[in-house]
A and B are shown apart, each in its own frame.
Chain A
């Protein structure tokens, strides 16, 4: 079972919730926590365990072979992403724009654009008692998060049983990386904060999840600040509020030291229990 933890706005507490919820679950059962925010993964700051495995991750990019090219220009016509540009006497490939669709390569009449593996990042697996933590990190200079997110999810499917709960710490926003991270999830937890920015971006995230036909609930972080707009919005639209993490300087201080907070903060642990109960009930139904 996959539970994605997402948000519209960045910095609302996805990692706080993901890491603490994962550790809370793992007190009693095997659980997988995956950091899919591959452009800037940070769950790993809070999970210290034994390294189990490291894998290099590659994507396939066409490489122009001048000797077999007849300069017909079909590659450029077949590329939907302007990643292959034909300039009369030469072909230029832009790896950052390439979506590894193989069209230029497969449709080249002389096979002058063979696909070549290019490293895009690294996957790490860490184990701490019942908590299995997987983090993928995109290399500096790589622009596309989607292929690495996709390969990380494949890794999860191949290495863990279907029924194990997987928490997916997702990227912020509502663009391609979020879609990739949430599209296979059985349930989405949207973390927000009760501010006008939080409200605005929560609405975008909700619209996105509705377009994907996803079931979702809201967790309000920094509860107690700002306005009641999110409460009112959720009530009007029948969106369940799963938990409220209180606004607390102490909680922020513990977080800033790279420590899990819930054990030192019973009010937070109570809220995690509510989410756990909700997820467990989903699993049964």
Chain B
């Protein structure tokens, strides 16, 4: 299974980014291969509008089954993610990626959709 995180870095110790559309990185953990891939999303700060749909589109291309984030996506982004069939878990905005992953495994995160 592939699990995506909105994060401020690219490894287990990185802090989560509580924002969805304007997250600094999308970090994807493949638990079968035990490896990370990531997308550097920092150019998004130059976008005045439409950050949510743009980041969702990128996430869609990375094909995760699960997204773990902080505040949760806004309306437009949620619409894209729903079409993509990605399960979204929120409330991990103040954690590290490692803590967020553990909380997900422990079923301690809130389901968004």
Among A76, A90, A92, A97, contact of B49 (Cβ-Cβ < 8 Å): A97
Complex Cα spacing A85 to B57, Å: 7
In the complex, the chain B residue whose C-beta lies closest to that of A81 is B50
Question: Once the chains bind, are B80 and A97 in contact (CB under 8 Å)?
Answer: no
Is there a chain B Cβ closer than 8 Å to A253's Cβ?
Answer: no
Contact of A92 among B47, B51, B54, B83 (CB under 8 A): B83
Is the CB–CB distance between B53 and A90 below 8 Å? no
Whole-angstrom distance between the Cβ of B41 and the nearest chain A Cβ: 13
Assess whether A87 is in contact with B50, with CB atoms less than 8 Å apart: no
Binding site for B on A (CB under 8 A): 76, 81-83, 85-88, 90, 92, 94, 96-97
Task: Tally the A-B contacts, defined by beta carbons under 8 Å.
Answer: 37
Q: How large is the interface on B (under 10, 10 to 19, 20 to 34, 35 or more residues)?
A: 10 to 19
Cβ distance B50 to chain A, nearest Cβ, rounded Å: 3
**Chain B residues in 8 Å Cβ range of A87:** 57, 60, 80, 83-84
Cα A81 to Cα B49 with chains together (Å): 7
Provide the bound-state CA to CA distance between A96 and B74, in Å: 13
In the complex, what's the smallest C-beta–C-beta distance from B22 to chain A, in angstroms? Answer: 13
Residue of chain B at shortest CB distance from A94: B76
Given A85-B56, A87-B60, answer yes or no on A94-B50 (Cβ-Cβ < 8 Å).
Answer: yes
| A97 pairs with B84, CB closer than 8 A | no
Contacts of A81 in B (CB 8 A): 49-50
- How long is the Cα–Cα vector from A81 to B60 in the complex, in angstroms? 18
Once bound together, how far apart are the Cα atoms of A270 and B18, in whole Å?
55
How close is A209's CB to chain B, nearest CB, in angstroms? 21
B37 at interface, CB cutoff 8 A: no
A97 and B57 in contact, given A87-B80, A90-B83 (Cβ under 8 angstroms)? no
Beta-carbon contact of B83 and A97 below 8 Å: no
Interchain CB contact (< 8 A) of B50 among A83, A86, A88, A90: A83
- Give the one of B53, B54, B60 with max A CB within 10 A: B53
Contacts A76-B57, A87-B60 known; A82 to B50 CB distance under 8 Å? yes
Let me know if B79 and A92 touch, CB within 8 A.
Answer: yes
Q: How far is the CB of B51 from chain A (nearest CB, A)?
A: 8
Whether B60 and A96, one on each chain, are in contact in the complex, defined by CB atoms closer than 8 angstroms, is no
The CA of A39 and the CA of B56, in the complex, are separated in Å by 29
The answer to whether residues A97 and B60 also contact, given A82-B47, A83-B50, A85-B53 and a CB cut-off of 8 A, is no
- In the bound complex, residues from chain B placing their C-beta under 8 Å from that of A86 are 57
A130 to B76, CA, bound (A): 46
Least CB distance from B47 to A in Å reads: 7
